[in-house]
A = this chain, B = another copy of it.
């Protein structure tokens, strides 16, 4: 078994309104940075998992993201998967 570190980025689909993003953009403009626009807020989920190999880990992560982390009706996700050195004791 190898250990993998993964980051799942969950973002709203472009067609979905993002009131939180609009509010943050207003805050940024209030700070004086009126050159900032198109602010969108997403989620970032960092996790560690053990799997036989990279392919298994990627499949499991896609299933987890699809079933639990993202709402596929309004959100999409992207997964970054990094290998972690397996402890020599295993």
Contact = CB atoms under 8 A, between A and B. Distances in A.
Contact of A49 (B31, B36, B46): B36
Q: How many copies does the complex hold?
A: 2
Chain A: interface size category = 20 to 34
Chain A at the B interface: SS class: strand
A88 interface: no
B37 A45 contact: no
B43 A44 contact: yes
A48 B43 contact: no
A67 interface: yes
Given A24-B69, A69-B24, A64 B42 contact: no
Nearest to A48: B38
A42 B40 contact: no
Contacts of A9: 44
| Shortest beta-carbon contacts, A-B, top 4 | A42-B44, A38-B48, A39-B47, A35-B50
